[in-house]
Amino acid sequence: MTETLCGQVLYGINTIYTVHTDTGDIQCRIKGKVLRSDERSYNPIAAGDFVEIARDLHSESQGMIVAVRERRTRLIRWNKKGRARQVLAANADLAVCVSSTQSPPFRPRFIDRVLAAAEAGGMTAAIVMNKADLGIGRDTEGRLADFRRIGYPVLVCSARTGDGIATLQGALLGKTVVFVGQSGVGKSSILNSLEPGLGLRTGEISAKHDRGNHTTNFSLLVRMPDGTSIIDTPGIREMELADILPEELAYSFREFFPFAQRCAVPVCPHENEPGCAVRAAVERGELHYDRYESYLRILFELRESRRSVHG
């Protein structure tokens, strides 16, 4: 005998998914035919996914995932090692890109990629600038000012001193938020200052399930008492984009839009086309050159690979 209920995936390791339901957490496997076989994914079900479960009435903490609900949003990257798209988070409202002023150095190109992935996946994005106690250089300030100008909130904080943490907490309240960052920027430290122990759980759970290389590479959703849900992602070195068609990439650079509408060529790739209003705006300094260069690099990558093709 089974009963059917709905829940949200907290994390999945080696095909066992831990799903939160109103009646507690349930360990689930995927029922054979649930997933489309043509979906080449590193992880077909992701942290944040809403799923339907058939629960065995004799063992209440175990069940089968029988259906996955359509995702409202998704944050996807290309997993080079796994040669497949990796869904870092499903159904998040906000993507927070954590970066640091120094050690490791500020990497605006990485931020551009996270912002573009968030836009493509249908969620809003914000930048958290950690390690403010180490000081912020003038170049970095300039880039942050441009991110603000084009509409991305920038929250400056220090997990070490606690400065800015309360403001960050307020900005997340009640939302489902995915945190992304390169290793060493202080993502775990920030999560721990939001709620003690939060940033540690990924490591603890990894250790508990240690069975090979999947373990350090999964996201984890934590529901906080204040109604905020945090999806912590593994520290990543590169954010290569996937699931974006080259001709649609410009939509993920939101400040290009008012100019792109005025390009002479239809479906303008904004490279060297005559009458390209985006390129002209870059030359006039109305669009930041670094953002444009990030766009061109990603465009090139998407064309080179076939990973922009769905399925």
Binding site for ligand GDP (CB under 6 A): 130-131, 133-134, 158-160, 181, 183-189, 235
- Select from ligand GDP, Zn ion, none the partner in contact with residue 268, using the beta carbon and a kind-dependent cut-off of 5 to 8 Å: Zn ion
Binding mask 161-200 for Zn ion (x = CB under 5 A): ----------------------------------------
Whichever of 187 and 201 has its CB closer to ligand GDP, that residue is: 187
* Nearest distance from C-beta of residue 191 to ligand GDP, angstroms: 8
In angstroms, the CA 28 to CA 50 distance is 13
* Nearest distance from C-beta of residue 206 to ligand GDP, angstroms: 13
- 224 CB-contact burial (10 Å; exposed 0-12 / middle 13-18 / buried 19+): middle
* Nearest distance from C-beta of residue 237 to ligand GDP, angstroms: 11
Q: Which amino acid is at 289?
A: Y
- Select from ligand GDP, Zn ion, none the partner in contact with residue 158, using the beta carbon and a kind-dependent cut-off of 5 to 8 Å: ligand GDP
* Nearest distance from C-beta of residue 81 to ligand GDP, angstroms: 19
* Nearest distance from C-beta of residue 252 to Zn ion, angstroms: 15
* Nearest distance from C-beta of residue 38 to ligand GDP, angstroms: 35
Residues 6+ apart with CB under 8 A from 225: none
In angstroms, the CA 18 to CA 20 distance is 7
In angstroms, the CA 243 to CA 58 distance is 41
Q: Which residue is nearest to ligand GDP (CB)?
A: 186
> How crowded is the C-beta side of 286, counted as CA atoms within 13 Å?
12
In angstroms, the CA 48 to CA 219 distance is 9
Q: Which amino acid is at 267?
A: V
182 token code pair: 């390169």
- Select from Zn ion, ligand GDP, none the partner in contact with residue 159, using the beta carbon and a kind-dependent cut-off of 5 to 8 Å: ligand GDP
257 token code pair: 């839009």
- Select from ligand GDP, Zn ion, none the partner in contact with residue 118, using the beta carbon and a kind-dependent cut-off of 5 to 8 Å: none
Chain Cα centroid distance, residue 53 = 26
Whichever of 131 and 143 has its CB closer to ligand GDP, that residue is: 131
* Nearest distance from C-beta of residue 138 to ligand GDP, angstroms: 19
- H/E element, 19: strand 16-21
Quote the crossing angle between the two packed helices 165-172 and 187-194, to the nearest 10°.
80
Quick one: which of 278, 281, 282, 302 contacts Zn ion (CB under 5 A)?
278
Can residue 291 be called a binding residue for Zn ion (CB under 5 A)?
no
Tokens 């609900």 label which residue?
69
In angstroms, the CA 231 to CA 90 distance is 9
Whichever of 132 and 249 has its CB closer to ligand GDP, that residue is: 132
Q: 141 in helix, strand or coil?
A: helix
Whichever of 236 and 263 has its CB closer to Zn ion, that residue is: 263
Whichever of 65 and 89 has its CB closer to ligand GDP, that residue is: 89
Residues 237-276 that bind Zn ion (CB under 5 A): 263, 268, 270, 276
Whichever of 167 and 261 has its CB closer to ligand GDP, that residue is: 167
Q: Which of 300, 297, 287 is nearest to 257 (CA)?
A: 287
Whichever of 74 and 187 has its CB closer to ligand GDP, that residue is: 187
